[in-house]
Amino acid sequence: MATTKRDDICDAALDLFVEKGISASTTREIAERAGTAEGNLYRHFAGKDALARHLFGVCAGRFRRALIEAAHGEEEPGARLAALVRSMFRFSREDPKAFAYILQVHHHEFATGPVRNPQPLPKDVFAETLQAGMESGAFRPIDPALATSWIVGMTQRTITFLETGRVETPRDQVIEETIGASFRLVQK
pLDDT in tens, 55-67: 999 999 999 999 9
Residue range of the domain that includes 67: 49-186
**Is the separation of the CB atoms in 146 and 119 below 8 Å?**
no
Query: Smallest Cα–Cα separation from 132: which of 184, 78, 83, 62?
Result: 78
Residue among 89, 93, 100 nearest 67 (CA): 89
| Tally of structural domains, the chain | 2
Q: What is the mean pLDDT of residues 177-183?
A: 98
In this structure, are residues 22 and 52 in contact, taking their beta carbons and an 8 Å threshold? yes
Q: Do 39 and 2 belong together in one domain?
A: yes
pLDDT band of 169, cuts 50, 70, 90: very high
Q: In this predicted model, what pLDDT tens digit does every residue of 77-96 receive, in sequence order? A: 999 999 999 999 999 999 99
Q: For 146-157, what is the mean pLDDT?
A: 96
CATH number, position 139: 1.10.357.10
Percentage above 70 pLDDT, the chain? 93
Say if residue 108's pLDDT is above 70.
Answer: no
Residues 159, 146, single domain; the answer is yes
**5 and 96 inside one domain:** no
Q: Are residues 10 and 68 in the same domain?
A: no
- The contacts of residue 59 (CB under 8 Å, 6+ apart) are 14, 95, 98, 99, 101, 102
Q: How far apart, in whole angstroms, are the C-alpha atoms of residue 16 and residue 104? A: 12
pTM: predicted TM-score of the whole model, two decimal places: 0.89
